[in-house]
Amino acid sequence: MKYCIRCVLPENFPTIDFDENGLCNYCRTFEKEKNPQEVKSRHREKFERLLETHRGKKDYDVLMAYSGGKDSTYTLDIFKNHFGLRVLALSFDHGFMSPYAMRNINTVVERLGIDHVIFKPNFELMKKLFTLSVTGNLYSKKSLERASTICSSCMNLVKFIALKLSLEKEIPFIGYGWSPGQAPVQSSVMKNSAAFAKATQKVLYDPLHEKLGDAINPYFLSTEDFNDADKFPYNIHPLAFLDYDEERIYGRIRELGWQPPQDTDPNSTNCLMNAFANQVHQQQHGFHPYAFEVAGLVRMGVMSRDEGLARLNKAGDETVIQAVKSKLGLTK
Ligand SMILES: [Zn+2]
């Protein structure tokens, strides 16, 4: 397998194109971008200006999608202690949370003094959804460059459940702990548009509804929810416009009582299903679903190319993978 000489994108990545030196198109675009620091401060200032108008108006300033992983734990702390916001944390329990992550979540919200909601959807339905994610054709080729089908199914539910809750509680911001490799700084401070959300929901909802029926309705917006476009919150992922240093992140969250899980694969610090999701994606598409994110982190200097390749080439724990398959009913 040939990889980009700078990042870790492999030759079978769908939209890759190497120049004569073996440098990929993503690295070439990155080189051309002028002054990333200036772009970062512009977005940070934009968020700070929005806070002046929106903070303190309702019960909560930000609804944080809190997975218990290292990046979302750090982001939770940033919202509470750096920006001084009143945070409501929302965790989504899909039935495959690492017990270590559950303990981390409880410890951290208690330590930070944050209100917290756990949303645990009907597991029989989740089982059908994840099985369908493995076998069905639910997502576009483009979205599968950046995440496995299982991750996409889960994240899409999280996004719509968070949006629904933020509209109900009139919370002006939804926070995400995306690493700078997962989501670009350009989208780090962005208002949800009712029209766009409606179109996105339709693309996701229709194929799922066809297979799973009305049982999925509680996880999506109703027709009335789209009426008040002004109420739609901003999505914020602050790690894109702040300095991202994994060592400092681990240092800070350990102070909050967070401990590294011993049972997840190297690309996740909360989800036991991830190793299985990665395995399925690699079998179906030939490349690792985290290749895009890790390549971004390597390009930005967060980790070395060797560290990135090692992270992607480490196989998931077979015992964990078998346990996940068994709980999903996918073993014979
Ligand atoms: Zn590259």
Specify the pTM.
0.92
The pLDDT of 107-121, averaged and rounded, is 97
Query: What distance in angstroms lies between residue 150's CA and the mean position of ligand 1's atoms?
Result: 26
* Dist. CA 235 → ligand 1 center (Å): 28
How close is the Cα of 185 to the center of ligand 1, in Å? Answer: 19
Q: 143 alpha carbon to ligand 1 midpoint, in Å? A: 19
Three-state DSSP string of 118-175: EECCCHHHHHHHHHHHHHCCCCCCCHHHCCCHHHHHHHHHHHHHHHHHHHHCCCCEEE
* Cβ–Cβ under 8 Å, residues 263 and 104: no
Q: Is the pLDDT of residue 41 over 90?
A: yes
For residue 164, give the nearest of 95, 239, 90 by alpha carbon. 90
What is the predicted pLDDT for the residue at 267?
79
Q: How far is the CA of 314 from the centre of ligand 1 (A)?
A: 20
CA 257 to ligand 1 centroid distance, Å? 36
> 22 C-alpha vs ligand 1 centroid, how far in Å?
8
Q: Which domains are delineated in the chain?
A: 1-33 (no CATH), 35-328 (3.40.50.620)
How much is the pLDDT for 164?
96
pLDDT band for position 144 (cuts 50, 70, 90):
confident
What's the CA-to-centroid distance between 250 and ligand 1, angstroms? 27
Who wins on pLDDT, 305 or 315? 305
CB 281 within 8 Å of CB 289:
yes
User: Ligand 1 center to residue 307 CA distance, Å?
Assistant: 15
Token pair in block for residue 308: 């990135």
Least confident range of 37-41, 94-98, 142-146: 142-146
pLDDT score at 143: 83
- Could you give the CA distance from residue 249 to residue 221 in angstroms, rounded to a whole number? 34
pLDDT for the residue 66? 97
Please check the confidence at residue 184 and state whether its pLDDT lies above 80.
Answer: yes
227-241, 254-268, 305-319: which has the minimum mean pLDDT?
Answer: 254-268
The pLDDT tens digits for 250-307 are 999 999 999 998 877 777 778 889 999 999 999 999 999 999 999 999 998 999 999 9
The pLDDT-based confidence of 331 (bands split at 50, 70, 90) is: confident
Tokens standing for residue 27:
């690295």
For position 33, what pLDDT does the model report?
82
Predicted confidence at residue 266, as pLDDT, reads 77
Quote the pLDDT of residue 181.
84
- Please list, in sequence order, all residues whose beta carbon lies within 8 angstroms of the beta carbon of residue 76, skipping any fewer than 6 positions away: 64, 66, 87, 89, 108, 109, 112, 114, 175, 177
Distance from the alpha carbon of residue 299 to the mean position of ligand 1, in angstroms:
7
The CA 29 to ligand 1 mean position distance, Å, reads 9
- Residue whose structure tokens are 């997975």: 67
Provide mean pLDDT across the span 202-215: 93
φ, ψ dihedrals at 94, nearest 5°:
-90, 5
Torsion of CA 216, 218, 224, 229, to 10 degrees: -90
Residue bearing tokens 């009913």: 329
In this prediction, residues 230-240 reach a mean pLDDT of: 96
Q: Ligand 1 centroid vs 20 CA: distance in angstroms?
A: 13
Q: What is the pLDDT of residue 108?
A: 98
State the sign of the Cα–Cα–Cα–Cα dihedral 12, 17, 18, 24: negative
d(CA 312, CA 326): 25
Give mean pLDDT, residues 163-179. 96
Question: In angstroms, what is the span from residue 313 Cα to ligand 1's centroid?
Answer: 17
Residue 228 has what pLDDT?
86
At 34, the pLDDT band (50, 70, 90 cuts) reads: confident
